[in-house]
């Protein structure tokens, strides 16, 4: 009853791909942002899986830092979203296109 490491990696890649897909297809800014979180979670799983394979705790540490970064990004990102909402009254990314060409 064992699980090969590649299974974990496949799951991680799947999560990452879901994140990218979400970023490309969703319209709500907040959902876009959540897609990025999904991507980061996918990456985290890779780290842990590799750490297990390599028998080193470095991967765990990395995940720890990724979480801190994700938290920081979340704080800033949501603040930016609020600022945009205040000037635009919309959360649809397709309407945030004042700057172009």
Partner 1 sequence: MPPSSTDYVRILPEIVLAVWGMAVMFAEPLLGPHTSRKGLGVFAALGCLLALGATVFQAQPAYAGFGFYNMLRVDHFSVFFHCVVILVALSTTLMSLDYLPAHKIDKGEYYALILLGAVGMCLMSSAVELVLIFIALEISSIASYILAGFRRHSAESTESAMKYFLLGSFATAFFLYGVALLFGATGSTNVFRIAEVLNTSAHIEPLAYIAVALIFTGLGFKVACAPFHIWTPDVYEGAPSPVVAFMSTAPKAAAFAVLIRLVIDTASPNWFWVIWVAAVLSMSVGNLGAILQSNIKRMLAYSSIAHAGYLMVAFASASNRELGISAAMFYSAAYAAMNVGAFAVISHMAGSHERFSSIDDYAGLGRRSPALAAALTFFLLSLIGIPITGGFFAKFYVFSAALRTHLIWLTLIGLVNSGMGSYYYLRVIVKMYMNEPRTTAPVPPVRLGVGLAIAISLIATLWLGVWPNAILHYTQGAPTILAGK
Partner 2 sequence: MHQFLFIVFAVFCAGGAINLLVQRKTINSALSLIVVMGSLAMIYLLLGAEFVAVVQVIIYAGAIMVLYIFVIMLLNAGDEEASKGSNVAKYFGIPGLFIGGIIGIGVLLKHRPNDTPLKLGALYGPADQVGMLLFTKYLLAFEVTSVLVLIAIMGAVVLARRSDS
Partner 3 sequence: MTNSLFQPWLVPALPLAGMAINGLFGKRFSEKLVAAIALIATGCSFLVACLQALLLVNSGSPMLEQHYGTWIQAGKFTVDFGIYLDHLSLIMMLVVTGVGFLIHIYAAAYMHHEGGYYRFFSYLNLFMFFMLVLVLANNYLLMFVGWEGVGLASYLLIGFYFLKDSAANAGKKAFITNRVGDFGFLIALFMMIQTFGSVHYGSLYFNPGLVNALPLEHSTGILTMIGLLMLVGACGKSAQIPLFVWLPDAMEGPTPVSALIHAATMVTAGVYMVARSNPIFSRAPIALLAVAVIGTLTSFFAATIGMTQMDIKRVLAYSTVSQLGYMFMAAGVAAYSAGVFHLMTHAFFKALLFLAAGSVIHGIGGEQDMRKMGGLRKYMPWTFYTMATATVAIAGIPPLAGFWSKDEILWQAWSSPYGSKIFWAVGVITAFMTSFYMFRLLFMTFFGEYRGEAAVAHAGHDAHGGHGHTPHESPWMMLGPLVVLAALSIFGGFVGAGHRFEHFLDPVIQKVEAHRSALEVEAAAAPMTEEPAAEKSTELALMATSVIVALAGLGLAWFLYIKRPELPARIAAALGGLYTLVYNKYWIDELYKAVLISPLLWISTHVLWQSVDQKIIDGSVNDLAVTARDVSGVVRQQQSGLIRSYAGWIAAGAALVVAYMVWMGTR
Which residues in 17-46 contact partner 1 (CB under 8 A)? 19, 23, 29, 32-33, 36, 39-40, 42-43, 46
Min dist. Cβ of residue 79 to partner 3 (A): 17
Counting contacts by CB under 8 A, is residue 15 touching partner 3? Answer: no
Q: Is the Cβ of residue 25 or residue 58 nearer to partner 1 in the bound state?
A: 58
3 sits in the region (left: phi over 0; alpha: psi -120 to 50; else beta) called beta
Q: What residues line the site for partner 3 (CB under 8 A)? A: 20, 23-25, 32, 93-94, 96-101
């Amino acid at each position: 009853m064992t699980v090969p490491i590649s299974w974990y990696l496949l799951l991680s890649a799947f999560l990452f791909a879901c994140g990218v897909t979400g970023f490309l297809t969703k319209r709500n800014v907040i959902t876009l942002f959540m897609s990025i979180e999904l991507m980061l979670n996918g990456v985290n799983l890779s780290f842990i899986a590799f750490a297990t394979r390599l028998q080193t705790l470095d991967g765990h540490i990395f995940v720890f830092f990724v979480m801190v970064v994700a938290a920081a990004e979340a704080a800033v990102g949501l603040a930016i979203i609020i600022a945009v909402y205040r000037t635009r009254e919309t959360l649809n990314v397709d309407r945030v296109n004042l700057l172009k060409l």
